[in-house]
Structure formats: C-alpha cells, structure tokens
Amino acid sequence: MDHTALELIELGAVFFGLGVLGRLAGKIGMSPIPLYLIGGLFFGQGGVVPLGDIGSFTQLASEIGVVLLLLLLGLEYSAAELFTGLKRSWMAGLVDIVLNAAPGAIVALLLGWGPIGALVLAGVTYISSSGIIAKVLGDLGRLGNRETPVVLSVLVFEDLAMAMYLPILTAVLGGVSFFGGLEAVGISLAVITVVLVVALRFGRFVSAIVDSEDREVFLLKVFGSALLVAGLASAMQVSAAVGAFLLGIAISGSTAENATRMLEPLRDLFAAVFFVVFGLNTNPASIPPVLVWAVVLAVVTTMTKVATGWWAARRADIGRLGRARAGAALVARGEFSIVIAGLAVSAGAVDGRLAALATAYVLLMAILGPVAARVVEPVAGAVQRRLARPEPSASPAPAPETPGTDPTNTP
Amino acid sequence: MNVEVTPLPGIGVRKDFGLANGRRVGVVTHRDGKIDLIVSKSEDPDACLASLPLTAEEAGALANLLGAPQLVAQLTEEHRELPGINTRQLPVKTGSPFDGRTLGDAAIRTRTGVSVVAVMRAGQVNPSPTPDFTFTAGDLLVAVGTPKGLEATAKILQHG
C-alpha cells in the first residue's frame, strides 16, 4: 500500500471513530471532549494501536484547531460587550482567579514543577469551559434564569483574562530571561490594548475587509485572515491563539454572526483533531501516577468554582438555589485548559507529567461539570428543605412555599 | 410596565418583567433571531419553569392572542357610552378576495359606515391604516361601527 493511501485510511478511521464517540457522548448527554481525549490516548504512543503516519497533518490541524477555537470565542463578543461585562463582573472575576488558580499553582509547586509549572497548572484549573457551560445552560433551559447573566459575565471575564494570560504564558514558556520576559509581556499587553481599542472604534472596518456576499469568498477571507493574524502574532511572540481571539473580537455585527455560522463546522473538525493530538502525545501509562493529584484537584476546584458562583450570584441578590446553580454551572473545564496545557507541553518547558495531569483533570472535570449542573437543583433543594426550619431568612431567598400559593416577592 | 433588558453575552438578550404575583415572564432573544418564551417558577423566582423555543411565526401568533383582547377591550371600553356602536375583530381569511388587495379597494367605510381603526398582523398592531394598506390572509381588522355595519363588513371581507 502506498504511503498516501495508508495516511488517508488512518485519517478516515480517526475521524470516523471521533464521529462515533461524539454520537455516544450526545446520547448520554455529555461533552465529547473527554471521549476525544480518550480516543487520543488509545491511539497514541504507548496506546493500544499507535498511529504514526499522520503526524505531520494532525500536528498542523491541531494548531488550526486552537486558532479556530479562539477565533470563534472572540467572534462571540463585541469589544463593547467585553468592556461592559468586565465592568460588571471584575470583582467576581478576581475571586474566580484567586480561588481557582491557586489550587493548580499549589499542586504544581508541591510536585516540584517550579514557577513555570505553577503558572501553567494555575491556568488549567482556573479557566472554565465556556463551550460546555453555554451548551449545558441551553440544554437545561436556564437561559432565562436570573443567575445566568452572572455566570456569563464570569465567563466573559475569564475570556478576557485568557487574552492577557496566554501571551504572558507564551513569553514565559519561551524561556527568555526575566527582563526579556518582562519586555515580551509588555509588548504583548501593548498589542492587546491597541487591538482592543481598534476593535472598539474601528471594528466595522475590520468587518468590512473580511465581509463578502459570496459564501466561498467570505469563508476563504475569514479563514485566511485568521491564519494570517495568528501566524503574525506567533512571530511577534504573542501566541497565535491570542491573535485569533483578538481578530474575532474586532469582527462584529452580522459579519461575526455569518463567520460563526460558517466556521463552526470547521472548528468542530479541527478542534476534535486538537484534542486527539493532545491525547496522542500523552502516554496513558503516565496517568496513573498523577491520578490521585488529578482527583484532589478535581474535588478542590469543584468546590472553589461553586464558591465563586455562589459569591457572585449572592452579590446579584439571587436566592440560594440560584446561587448553587450558578456555582455548579461554572464547574466544567475543557477546551481551554487543554489549550493551555498544550502550549506548555509543545514548548517543552514543563515537566512531562503535567500533560498527563492536565489530561486526567480535564477528563474528570468535563464529565463532572455537566453532571454537577444537572444534579445541583435536587441536591440544593433537599439541603434547603432540611435547613429550612431553624433558619430565619435573612436574605431575599424565598422560603419554601406550599404548593398552589405564589410567593409575593417584594418588589 | 417596566421591562428589564439584560444582555446575555455570547447568547443574546433577555427581556422580562415581574408580574403582580412575583413571577417573571418574558423572552430570551437569541442572536440568530430565535425566541424563547420564559416563565419563572413560583417557588424559585430566579429559575424558569419553562424556556420554550418559538419560531418567528409562532411568536407572532402568540403575541396576537395575548395582545388582541387587550386592544379590543380598550376600544370597547371607549365606545361603551355610545349606544349602538360596537367594536369587533374581523379576520381576513385565506381565500378572501381581499388577500393581497388594499383597504381602499374594500371601500368598507363607503359601503357599511364601519371604520377600520387598526389591523393586527404577526403580533404587531398597525393603527389607523391608510387606504393603501394591503391586506394579507391572517390579518385581523379592528373595526368600529353599528352591529349591522359590522355584519356587512364581515361578509365583504369573506365574499367581496
């Protein structure tokens, strides 16, 4: 069999396998991300059936996957939305950073992975998966709930924090000296500020450049400009992912909506490759030694995210059940944790076990997140009923009602 | 009515208002134009009992159902003190000869003395329609006149 034929067969088998896994995930109502990771582990080095020939394609495809993940994230927001979201949620955002980055950083230090490892793992445990969360909120019919804007504004803050964090991370991973690193960070922060200001003021010009009536032309222009900007950003030491994210923010209005609609299938394809490649590069044998730490992190960061959501929702005067829902909704980690770990591993600047820990952690959290969001209502309801008697209601949380009577909420 | 407008970043906009009994009702408008009808729970006003996706057509039909009685009630109230004057809603049905023709063509006022004070279409009220207002099937005319005139108008709309 000639080489191309073999590559096509392997690639086809991988994609088809992912399709089957995705369908399985949909059937049991969970995110497909953990299954893609498991798929990657299965076929990777040390896995059951190692695939070697499609490395060069999958490597580039997974890079494109990251670019598209971040581009579509940016397309979700307009710069103005980011700023208002930031103004409204910065306190909750800071609580979020402190509570959820700390466990990762502490574990990395305990394992002796140094400050760089701490920075990486802090990012992995900090960032919630907006993809999983938005989907779960929609599936559970919670878009109209009063706590949902709180959850979303925390996510907006996280996305903006990512735009700051990723260039810093890439600079640090580049192994530059302290002052060199400071310079790189300074440059990237300046670039980000300029881009955000440009997006806010002149976003429609950026939109006009990529916009086109013709679907094909439009697709090529959007995809091409994303890769161009990502490549240039990468050359300037700002990570490719951040470049794509900023381009996404600069594109706004109906252009952004069209671009989202058109790029979504592409993103799903390439992002799936990205997760598989991450799994491929992780030796399954390296997971058991770090599994205990992954479980510890999963338990701790589940509680810290619930606390974050609870705190943020309480500030918005939301009842106890709503606070619990907000907290549980934020639990899921996914695509961006893997993006961060992927950047660190490909730079080769961190301990090899970090990838294994990140994989195991995201496997747990991507499954735990949707489950937590689902079971929080019955659980919190039961707890509330048990506690209802001795507690004088000091907050505007409604006391349990007898069926048939409506609460007269104070206006 | 104090309608609260809350942006939902990445999703759309929520517009809702509180009812006298403490519950909330409203819609979530998605960016792609999809509309969810939301109704809050009674025991937990933060949460939603229902989050019902509606097509544009369904939303229009629902708005019509909800809005029409109010408009008619208001007009009836206003004409109560005038004996012999009634308000009625008259539909332009599918197959009506005026589907696609104008209010002027129907010459309702000339023929029956009835005034068409508004036309409801797809949940929107078009007040004081001009003679060049073009009907389509599904429109609901709000007409004011004598019972006899209204009867005649209903016949005109149906048979020409």
- In terms of phi and psi (left: phi > 0; alpha: psi -120 to 50; beta: otherwise), the region of A101 is alpha
pLDDT band for A380, please (50, 70, 90 cuts): confident
The domain segmentation of chain A, as residue ranges, is: 10-385
Q: What is the pLDDT of residue B81?
A: 65
Lowest average pLDDT, out of A80-94, A263-277, B9-23, B35-49, goes to A80-94
The domain segmentation of chain B, as residue ranges, is: 4-54, 59-159
Put simply, the answer to whether A134 touches B32 (Cβ < 8 Å) is no
- The label of the residue with tokens 């609460």 reads A407
Both structure tokens of A203: 């976003």
How far apart, in whole angstroms, are the C-alpha atoms of residue A296 and residue A103? 9
pLDDT digits (tens, 9 = 90+) for B102-154: 888 888 888 888 888 888 887 677 888 888 888 888 888 888 888 888 888 88
Beta-bridged to residue B54, according to DSSP, are B35
The answer to whether residues A284 and A46 touch, using CB atoms and an 8 Å cutoff, is: yes
How far apart, in whole angstroms, are the C-alpha atoms of residue B80 and residue B74? 10
Q: Which residue of A has its CA nearest to B43?
A: A401
Both structure tokens of B29: 């408008």
Q: Which residue of A has its CA nearest to B46?
A: A146
pLDDT band for A1, please (50, 70, 90 cuts): low
Q: Is the pLDDT of residue A28 over 60?
A: yes
Task: State the smallest CA–CA distance between residue A92 and chain B in angstroms.
Answer: 16
Q: What is the interface pTM, i.e. ipTM, of the complex?
A: 0.70
Task: State the smallest CA–CA distance between residue B59 and chain A in angstroms.
Answer: 16
- Point out the residue among A76, A82, A321 whose CB comes nearest to the CB of B44: A321
Interface check for A395 against chain B (CB to CB < 8 A): the answer is no
Q: What is the pLDDT of residue B139?
A: 86
Phi/psi of residue B29, each to 5°? Answer: -95, 115
- The full DSSP string for A235-266 is HTTS-HHHHHHHHHHHS-HHHHHHHHHHHHHH
Q: In the β-sheet with B24-30, what is the strand arrangement from edge to edge?
A: B4-8, B12-18, B24-30, B35-40, B48-54
Q: What is the CATH number of domain B59-159?
A: 3.30.70.1450
pLDDT band for A403, please (50, 70, 90 cuts): very low
Put simply, the answer to whether A407 touches B9 (Cβ < 8 Å) is no
pLDDT band for B64, please (50, 70, 90 cuts): confident
How far apart, in whole angstroms, are the C-alpha atoms of residue B37 and residue B48? 10
CATH 1.20.1530.20 fits A10-385, yes or no: yes
Put simply, the answer to whether B8 touches A143 (Cβ < 8 Å) is yes
Beta-bridged to residue B131, according to DSSP, are none
pLDDT digits (tens, 9 = 90+) for A54-64: 677 888 888 89
